[in-house]
Chains A and B, each alone.
Chain A
């Protein structure tokens, strides 16, 4: 790959002599990304190791902010947030994969496919809060579901745990993050040449075997992307847990908001650093999980023809 050199590249080359040639052609982007994203992140992590109040910071290194975080019930918070996010991501994968498979390969009717796309995208025209609040009137004590249950005699009293509970939070996440899981998998699967499926069939594999040996490995990039795009934003979600859970189910990012609300920036920074740590751990997990099939590189390299 020939790299076109510009004046910018020359400067970069002088400063960082040992990076491979391909980087030079991305120099502009890299600088912006580094300056705009990486440096602030590092700043946050750095800050969390100091003391202070509000925005006054004393430069004495300490773990105090982290101690505070954990003393505010932080470990529960962490455990709960990760547990819920992991559970939902798993469930989404189980639901979204067959759905994406059907949409990409099974659905012959273009009209149906078009309508499905629309149904998946339209909710995003509403604000996240608006999408979620609607469920309150459905799951509430006097809501539609309860009315139906009472009318059919399934229960004697309205069911209270449908809303402001973990059930509600799970439900809210499930709906909100379904498209983020479906889209990458759908794209990945639609890129699978039908020839491969036919060849697999022709060679003696029934549908299930074709799914396992051909479709799934080739859809793996989409699956990985889907998992990443679902799990990580879910950790950062502030809307669903609050509105569906009524503050009964506290999640990480809501906590950051409330800390910032009282100018407790340092503990918020510590919390942010912890979240970053979780995301890193998650990436490591992903990397390790993909090792048996050749690692992350391989998974995407399979798209090479």
Chain B
């Protein structure tokens, strides 16, 4: 295969099937703390997403794995069993797909893709063959001789992908690669990426700020905020069982109602809000404690409406009397705000025929809402939360 000065030799010691270990990484830019004692692992072949808003540290973490950034402090970083803390980016067995592609403008598409092989000293014919294979993989073989500026955004993205893949890295790092594409193209590319992932069996570490993207593509999501991990787990975990108000909010839960825990029982918590008691599955961090602040997170799709006159008295259901508020047309559904005595609640109305003018109450199943820690919750690492909003 490639020159030995580039490939990271396989470790003799078995590491289970963990291909990446990052332990206690801290990074500062001047006074700003970008990463605060973060540790992650990645399993061989998984599609891991680092999710967060800007400033959360996800890109910094990615760059530290790539070797493009040397962390201020780190206990251990190992790729495929070998400690790479002293190894520069050029010799680590991972490649990056950059947000703005970073395709070399003075080289043709083919030359761009060949670049990684060229600097490894691979001879011309071999290079050409492998580059063509990589381009075929992203269905751009016919653009081999074109110049970069002649390609569209989506095509450039695929070339960047091919370029990163041709060197057969152990880990592929993707830094918000779909951010610059329009919506339709983005969705198509997501599917392509998933295909590639399955076909190649490589470990992907993907950075994005879009929770929808993360949900679509990941095997596992690590949600970060201000340099700390706030929740990690498979997509369903973050979607259905957010650990804190922040996570719920980030994952798109429309209705977040804050109150105090009144009672706890077998993983179910009951929260008093105003004059109501609302129950749901406890998904917050740590154990639920009586008297602690908590947040009820219920998605708008789960809200049902009871017209006047109907009674809501099934067991395992939370109900709130309400009146209609604003309606927003969203094409596929109507975004209906309902006013209750503990605040507005959003519901989605899929059926046009539903009459919302005179309602008795709104209700949802206890099993379909989560009770989370209030505010941001404690992070996955150590340390107190000290932030206000």
Contacts and interface: CB of A to CB of B under 8 A. Distances in A.
| Direct A–B contact in the complex, CB atoms closer than 8 angstroms | yes
Interface of A: 193, 195-196, 198-206, 209, 213-214, 217-218, 302-305
Contact of A202 (B95, B104, B106, B120): B95
Given A204-B90, A206-B88, A303-B105, 9 more contacts: A198-B89, A200-B119, A201-B67, A201-B90, A203-B164, A204-B120, A302-B106, A304-B105, A305-B149
A218 B106 contact: yes
B88 A214 contact: no
Interface in B94-118: 95-96, 98, 100, 102-106, 115-116, 118
Contacts of A196: 102, 104
Interface in B13-68: 66-68
Contact of B106 (A204, A206, A217): A217
Given A302-B105, A305-B105, A203 B68 contact: no
B106 A203 contact: no
A195 B106 contact: no
9 contacts: A195-B102, A198-B96, A199-B102, A200-B115, A201-B89, A203-B167, A214-B104, A218-B106, A302-B106
A116 B357 CA distance: 73
A213 B119 contact: yes
A201 B68 contact: yes
Contacts of B96: 198-199, 202
Contacts of A199: 96, 98, 102-104
Nearest to A206: B90
A202 B6 CA distance: 11
Interface in B54-96: 66-68, 88-91, 95-96
A202 B149 contact: no
A259 B68 CA distance: 62
Contacts, number: 67
Given A203-B167, A204-B167, A195 B98 contact: yes
B163 interface: yes
Nearest to A298: B106
A203 B163 contact: yes
B91 A193 contact: no
B119 A204 contact: yes
Interface SS, A side: helix
Contacts of A202: 66-68, 89-90, 95-96
A218 to B, nearest CB: 6
A205 B119 contact: yes
Contacts of B91: 204
Contact of B98 (A198, A204, A209, A305): A198
Interface of B: 6, 66-68, 88-91, 95-96, 98, 100, 102-106, 115-116, 118-120, 149, 163-164, 167
Contacts of A214: 104
A217 B107 CA distance: 10
A223 B314 CA distance: 80
Q: Which one of A196, A204, A213, A214 has the highest number of Cβ atoms from chain B below 10 Å of its Cβ?
A: A204
A302 B147 CA distance: 10
A209 B91 CA distance: 13
Given A199-B96, A214-B104, A218-B106, A304 B149 contact: yes
Q: Which one of B66, B105, B149, B163 has the highest number of Cβ atoms from chain A below 10 Å of its Cβ?
A: B105
A203 B105 contact: no
A201 B88 contact: yes
Contacts of A203: 90, 95, 115-116, 119, 163-164, 167
A195 B96 CA distance: 11
Nearest to A220: B106
Q: Which 5 residue pairs are nearest across A and B when measured between Cβ atoms?
A: A302-B106, A199-B102, A195-B102, A203-B116, A205-B119
A203 B164 CA distance: 7
Contacts of B119: 200, 203-206, 209, 213
Nearest to B149: A304
A302 B102 CA distance: 13
Given A199-B102, A202-B66, A213 B115 contact: yes
Contacts of B88: 201, 206
B66 A218 contact: no
A198 B68 CA distance: 7
Contacts of B163: 203
A214 B90 CA distance: 14
Given A202-B68, A203-B95, A304-B149, A195 B100 contact: yes
Contacts of B118: 213
